[in-house]
Amino acid sequence: MRIGVLSKRTGLKPTAIRFYEANGVLPPPTRLSSGYRDYTAEDEERIQFLMRLRRVGLSVADLRSLVTLRDDPHHADPSALTAARRAVAAVDEHLDDLIRVREQLGDAGADPPPEFATE
């Protein structure tokens, strides 16, 4: 698939996709005879993984390490393991925040008052 299609499917702008390629977070895609980049479903899955990690605030260097760890867990270097620990901590913190929000909302949406009920 071309970069525009990948961008639409993932929600990541083409410039961001190229940025991740240039910084070693995404592997360079194969090129079509026309010179256009040709992405795979695996590239799409990798971008979705990266976007989830970015939502918890990880750096590009951490992303690079985590992708390496994900691709080859048996040959991870210490920086990848450190990045994985940071990622787990960031995810845990994000989950704690979401749980606090849920608790603050309580059961507000569980049983709406009769005037808001739908038939």
Q: In this predicted model, what pLDDT tens digit does every residue of 39-54 receive, in sequence order?
A: 999 999 999 999 988 8
Average pLDDT over residues 70-92: 85
pTM of the model as a whole: 0.72
- CATH 1.10.1740.10 at 1-55, yes or no: no
Binned at pLDDT 50, 70 and 90, residue 21 comes out as very high
Higher pLDDT, 111 or 11: 11
pLDDT (0 to 100) of residue 71? 84
pLDDT (0 to 100) of residue 61? 87
Helices and strands in the chain, H and E counts: 5, 2
Distance between CA atoms of residues 113 and 118, nearest Å: 10
Computed over every residue of the chain, the mean pLDDT equals 87
Do 56 and 83 contact (CB within 8 A), yes or no? no
Percentage of the chain beyond pLDDT 90 is: 47
Contacts of 80 (CB under 8 A, 6+ apart): 65, 66, 68, 69
Average pLDDT over residues 87-109: 86
Distance between CA atoms of residues 91 and 57, nearest Å: 9
Do 17 and 26 contact (CB within 8 A), yes or no? yes
